Every structure is written in structure tokens, then in C-alpha cells.
Amino acid sequence: MDTALNLKAPELYLNRELAQLEFNFRVLAQAEDPSVPLLERLRFLCICISNLDEFFEVQVAILRHHVGSGDAKPGADGIAPAELLVRIRQRALELVRAQYALWNEVLLPELAREGIRFLACEQWSPKQQRWLQGYFQNQVLPVLSPLGLDPAHPFPRILNKSLNLIVTLRGKDAFGREGGMAVVRAPRSLPRIVRLPPDVSEQPYEFVFLSSILQRFVDELFPGMRVKGAYPFRVTRNSELFVDEEDVENLAHALRDELRQRGYAKPVRLETAESCPKTVTEFLTRNFELGEAEVYRCAGPVNLHRVAAVYDQVERPDLKFPKFTPRVIAPVVAERNLFEAIAERDILLHHPFESFAAVIELMKQACADPDVLAIKQTLYRTGPDSSLVNLLIEAARAGKDVTVVVEVRARFDEEANIQLANRLQEAGVQVVYGVVGYKTHAKMLLIVRREKGLPRRYVHLSTGNYHQVTSRIYTDFGLMTADPDIGNDTHKLFQQISGLGPVIELKHLLQSPFSLHKGVMQRIEREIAHAQAGRPARIIAKINALNEASVVELLYKASCAGVQIDLIVRSGCTLRPGVPGISDNIRVRSVVGRFLEHSRVYWFANDGAPEMYCASADWMERNLLRRIEVCFPILDQDLARRIYDEALDNYLRDNTQAWILHADGHYERATPGDAPPHSAQQWLLEHLC
């Protein structure tokens, strides 16, 4: 390697926020792809819009907060934060324009051809108009509370991402007050998409946006006055919770207080109808204390993501992905004792292709087994009515020692997790809120069972959450093992999290924030040493995101030394592959398809003695340095080979859903060329289900 090379040079690093924003163009490409079933294309459009909402609520909000407080600093890419906000706006505007162009010019007409119509006011038949007016008068009007704006009625607090109308009026009301402006808040209790009943529909499925109903009949709220215009708008607010964990006595109580204010935190974006006059938009921006740079004009409904609700209402299997049945592993099918099966050999689960039912069954057997003494589990996101939660409660009531680490700071699940913690505690479960300053993101389940008079530990470790719904739409790996060393390591981790213990030494597991970052770096360094000694050296990693600067720098060093590196990075990647003399030996691809790629797999060639790891952590700064994460080795070589084949080689061969990252930061979709088409996810469906 040329010692004169500066591997910290800002031009070698892509910006983290822009890289994350870029991922949404790849999601939108799924919605644009005519080979994808039509209703799935609609769903991908809604995912793209929801992703952009969260991007503003978190990344843009945090950036604006730091810029406003004067403590913002450039990242490894060297882009000044104020300049970054300008670039984000430019790219976000392109994304918003592309979203609405797809909706208006492609999806609306294609859906209409299939008998699925979204009707604007001017498309209503007289019969439909009468029905909708009745719906407005009977269902909507009774729960509306329009607010005329005057000195006695200042601009109201507007809830984050809620649907509202700003109405301009002329004339005098019953008290002689001159018309001006009013705000109409859409009732949160009503659906945002209304399906017309069959007796007034002209097609099998016809829908109307609630915003259209409000706009058409809003004049009934202001009798005697003339409505000059009614314009939907939506404000996005900072949704990051700021709690000084070192200075609170009860984290759950402090978070609960913050959650009450989250919906009314500082605004970061205003969306308005494209037809909204400039004077009205300026009135809104003044009241939200925003500038023109935070305004996004929508060429359609401001809450377009709400069309996702129709996916389940439209019974057209031909317009959706074919249904599949996840494979149930043999021990569960045979109704075997899972503890005996795991004791014989480690069990690997690859979701969603293999059923999460095996995890549920393991917990069921643990609840019913009189020899099970204790159960310990981490919960980050579980979903409502979780079977696992019910089983944990059942186990506690059966007299077993149950300890659950509930991460109450899981973004957007804070309230649900606080309620979950309360429910568990009421059942006698010992609940731990994790470690102050570090989110517990590790996915661990430990069951202690008495065998031959001695305790034996059974462990389930995973790359994804204990969430039954996402286990059918996210790709993840889970390992069930009775390996004594892994069991002992997992036991130590639970003790450390709950008991304020010291830094611990683990035999097999790597743990953030202590040994995982160091462990990854050491293994990259080892590949560098192999390459420098003239031995074959290779690294393959499948992760959701890569932005930790020291890891990127070391990967550059490895590339310069001749290490062959393949990175499968679903979302944001700040490394520039293919830079001459720097990253010639690094290839980066992103796979976007039917399932959300979520598994984290690290593979190091190690001169013919390869090491395979699965983890809860991406190669991101927060995961490696500021969270509690677990990385676990796959010691069974047959299982390691299976993961290599299914999650690494398979994805490196994908030439239909893969996107190749170039040195300038743009992604190009892979094409089969002369090779047979290969979709990694489809291959897994065919081979595992």
C-alpha cells in the first residue's frame, strides 16, 4: 500500500444522510417496475413515502437541531451541515416529484383498468355525490371542530403528520366577524380512505380520500359564508425523544412524559397541496416557524401513503405476490422435544422462508416443562398481541424465574414497550430497562433447564426482533444452540445488563459496545496480514447499513493490500467502491425485493479456516459503539456453509433485484446480460419453502 495515501480524505466518504435518502429511490424503483404485481407496486410506493416521513422526523430533525444550536460538525465526508440540508432538500424534492408522477401518470390509470379507482371530486356521479354527502353529514360532520382564526382563536397546535385543511373564507359569520381563515382538523377516528358501497360504485373497488370529502363539503361548516378555497396540509415534526438518562430517576416515567409532547415537537417540514396559494403557504410557514426551504408541494393527496390501506381491502390475488407457506423445521413437524433436538445439534432458522413457529414452540415447551427453571429474553419490538409475551407471562405465573430486558427507547415503539413492561411486571416478570445511555438491541433468549440434576442452558440468538409479523416479511437468521460456551456467554451478558456488572470476557460472542467493533477490526486486519503474506484473503458482509468511519478506512486499507471484499448493504453505505488505487477490490451491492433484507452476516476467509458470524448489529457507529449488540459465531460448519450459500453467494449472484454502487455514489440496477436471470429471494422461496 502507498503510505502516502490519505484514507481519511473526505472525498473517499459518501454522506450518511444522502446515502440513506438514496435507498428510497431503490424502493421507488420497485413501485415503478412493471414486472412487480400492481398492488405490490402500490405498497412499495407507500413504503417509500413512509420512509421519507421517518427520514424527516429523525435524520433531518436531528441535523436541523444541531445546526440551530450551533454544535453541528461535518462527518467523515466533510460536508458542512448547512450545505447538507440544501443537498437533502434538492434530492428529497426529486423523490417527491417522482412519487407523485408515478401515482398520477402510472398507478392511477393502471389501477383503474383493473377496476380499482380513486375518485377525485369531479369524477363523482350524482349518486356517489349524494352518498358521500350523507357520509359527510352522518359520519364526519358530527366530530369536526372547525377553528376560525382571529385574536381570540390563535393558530392551533397541529399534531405530527395529521391531516388538516386551511380554509379561506369571505363574508360575515353569525357574530358579525369578517371571514378570514379557518383550520379544519380531520378526525383521527375516521379512515383516511373511504370505500364506496357496491350500490353506488361503477367498478368493483372505488375509493375516495377523506381529504376530498372534506374539501367538497367544507362549506357546510361555515353557513352564510363563502369558502374561497380549502387546501390540505400536513406538518412533520421532530420525533426524536431527548431524555437525559443520567438525570432521571425512572426512565419509563421520563419517556412517558416526553411521548406526550412528541406529536407537537419542533416542525421540520410542511406539505401542502400544489394548488395552495402562496399567501396561504406563507401564513402556514409563519405559524410553524418554517421557511420556504421546508415547504414541499404535493401534486396529489398530502397523505398519499394512506392508500396502503386498500391493499387488504382489495381481494385480487392476481395483483399481489403469490402466497407462500414458510417451511416448518422437522423437529416441530415431528412434535419432538425441542430441547432434545437442540442438544443433538444446533438448529438454524432462515426467516421468512422458515417459520418463526419454531421459536414459539420452544417457548411453549419451556412453559410446560417442569424442568425449566428460568427464562431470560430481550425484547426490542414485539408487535401487538405477541404470542411470546403471552408465553412469558404464562411461564412467570407457572412459577418459573422470568427476566425480560425491555428496550423502552425503541424508536416509535416507546409507548407500546412501556405498556408491555407494565403488563409483564403485573404478571410477576422481572423487567429490566437495559443500560443507561445504551439501547439494548441484542436479540437473545436463554432458557435454563435442569438435566440430570444440573442446569443446562439453551439459547436462541437472532439477527432480527422477536416479532411474528416482521418474521414473515424481513429476512433474518436465528440460531438455536445448547453449546455450553455460548450458553455461558449469554448468561454473562444478561447478568451484565441487569446487574451493573463489570466488563466481561466472553469466549465466543462479540458484544457492543465492548468487543464487537474491536473484533471486526481485528478480523479485517487478519485478512490484510494474509494478503500481505501472499495468501488468498476475502471478506463478505451482508448488513443493512455501513457508516462507521474507522471500519470504512480499514476496509480501504484492506483493499489496498489486495483483500477481495464484497459488501451487500441494503440501505445507506458511505464507502466508495472502485476508487482507483483505493477501493479497486471492493464491490458494494444493495438488494431490494419482496422481503426487507435484514439479516447481518459477516464472513472472513481466514486462510482456509473461514469464520462465519451472524449479528444484531450493522457496521454503523451507533450499533458498534453506542448500543448493546451481540454477534455470534456459527460453529457448526454445515450450518455455516448453508448461510454462505443462502445469504452470501446467493445474493452475490443476484442479477435482477441487485443494485451496484459506483464510486460516484450512484446505483445502477444489475441486469442478467447473457447469464440466466437470478433473484436471490425467489431462489430461497423455491428452495426453502
pLDDT (0 to 100) of residue 242: 57
Query: Is residue 485 classed exposed, middle or buried when 0-12, 13-18 and 19+ CB atoms within 10 A define those classes?
Result: middle
Q: Domain for residue 391, yes or no? A: yes
Q: Domain for residue 4, yes or no? A: no
C-alpha cell at 430: 422481572
Angstrom distance (rounded) from CA 597 to CA 41: 18
How would you classify the pairing of strands 658-661 and 627-633? unpaired
Number of structural domains in the chain: 3
Among 319, 347, 371, identify where a domain stops: 319
Strand partners, 327: 354
Q: Quick one: 556 and 569 in the same domain?
A: yes
Strand partners, 267: 237
Angstrom distance (rounded) from CA 658 to CA 653: 9
Q: Quick one: 504 and 533 in the same domain?
A: no
| Cis ω for the linkage preceding 352 (within 30 of 0) | yes
Q: Quick one: 453 and 576 in the same domain?
A: no
Closest of 374, 440, 436 to residue 406, by C-alpha: 440
Angstrom distance (rounded) from CA 396 to CA 53: 40
Q: Quick one: 303 and 340 in the same domain?
A: no
Residue stretches of the chain with pLDDT short of 50? 246-249
**Helix (H, G, I), strand (E, B), or coil: what is residue 674?**
coil
Strand partners, 462: 478
Among 493, 508, 523, identify where a domain stops: 508
Segments forming the whole domain that contains residue 630 = 511-688
CA distances (Å), 514 to each of 378, 379, 510, 518, in order?
19, 21, 8, 8
| Cis ω for the linkage preceding 513 (within 30 of 0) | yes
pTM of structure? 0.94
Q: Domain for residue 6, yes or no? A: no
CA 244 to chain centre: 25
Which own/partner pairs from 212-215 qualify as long-range (CB within 8 Å, at least 24 positions apart)?
A: 212/119, 212/120, 212/121, 212/301, 213/132, 213/135, 213/136, 213/140, 214/136, 214/140, 214/165, 214/184, 214/186, 215/121, 215/165
Contact 568, 543 (CB under 8 A): yes
Map grid coordinates 408541494 to a residue.
297
Q: Quick one: 161 and 88 in the same domain?
A: yes
DSSP letter for each residue of 342-364: HHHS-EEEEETTB-THHHHHHHH
Contact 207, 310 (CB under 8 A): yes
Angstrom distance (rounded) from CA 677 to CA 550: 37
C-alpha cell at 110: 393502471
DSSP letter for each residue of 458-527: EEEEESS-S-TTGGGTEEEEEEEE--HHHHHHHHHHHHHHHHT------SS-EEETTTHHHHHHHHHHHH
pLDDT (0 to 100) of residue 247: 47
Q: Would you mind telling me the total number of residues written for the chain in this entry?
A: 689
Instruction: Tell me which DSSP letter residue 115 carries.
Output: T
Map grid coordinates 433531518 to a residue.
60
Q: Domain for residue 125, yes or no? A: yes
Strand partners, 168: 181, 229
Q: Quick one: 278 and 149 in the same domain?
A: yes
**Helix (H, G, I), strand (E, B), or coil: what is residue 541?**
strand
CATH label of the domain that carries residue 80: 3.30.1840.10
Angstrom distance (rounded) from CA 567 to CA 588: 5
Q: Quick one: 262 and 308 in the same domain?
A: yes
Give the active site residues: 441
Q: Quick one: 500 and 516 in the same domain?
A: no
Among 293, 319, 345, identify where a domain stops: 319
What does the pLDDT look like over 451-474, one tens digit per residue? Answer: 999 999 999 999 999 999 999 999
Angstrom distance (rounded) from CA 402 to CA 389: 11
Q: Quick one: 284 and 355 in the same domain?
A: no
Residue 379 half-sphere exposure toward CB, CA atoms < 13 A: 32
| Secondary structure in 3-state letters for 243-265 | CCHHHCCCHHHHHHHHHHHHCCC
Angstrom distance (rounded) from CA 112 to CA 207: 11
Intra-chain end-to-end CA distance of the chain, in Å: 47
Q: Domain for residue 403, yes or no? A: yes
CATH label of the domain that carries residue 547: 3.30.870.10
Contact 553, 8 (CB under 8 A): yes
Contact 531, 563 (CB under 8 A): yes
Query: Is residue 466 classed exposed, middle or buried when 0-12, 13-18 and 19+ CB atoms within 10 A define those classes?
Result: buried
Q: Domain for residue 7, yes or no? A: no
Q: Domain for residue 119, yes or no? A: yes
| Secondary structure in 3-state letters for 379-422 | ECCCCCCCHHHHHHHHHHHCCCEEEEEECCCCCCCHHHHHHHHH
Residue type (1 letter), 240 = E
C-alpha cell at 593: 425485493
CA 371 to chain centre: 39
Residue type (1 letter), 415 = E
pLDDT (0 to 100) of residue 68: 84
Q: Quick one: 492 and 556 in the same domain?
A: no
**Helix (H, G, I), strand (E, B), or coil: what is residue 231?**
strand
Q: Domain for residue 3, yes or no? A: no
The string over 44-79, giving b where at least 16 C-beta atoms fall within 10 Å of a residue's C-beta and e elsewhere, is: bbbbbbebbbebbbbbbbbbbbeeeeeebeebbbeb
pLDDT (0 to 100) of residue 177: 64
Angstrom distance (rounded) from CA 298 to CA 625: 39
Beta strands in 159-225 (DSSP E): 164-170, 181-185, 193-195, 205-209
Q: Quick one: 559 and 446 in the same domain?
A: no
Q: Quick one: 142 and 261 in the same domain?
A: yes
Radius of gyration (C-alpha) of the chain in whole angstroms: 27
pLDDT (0 to 100) of residue 20: 96
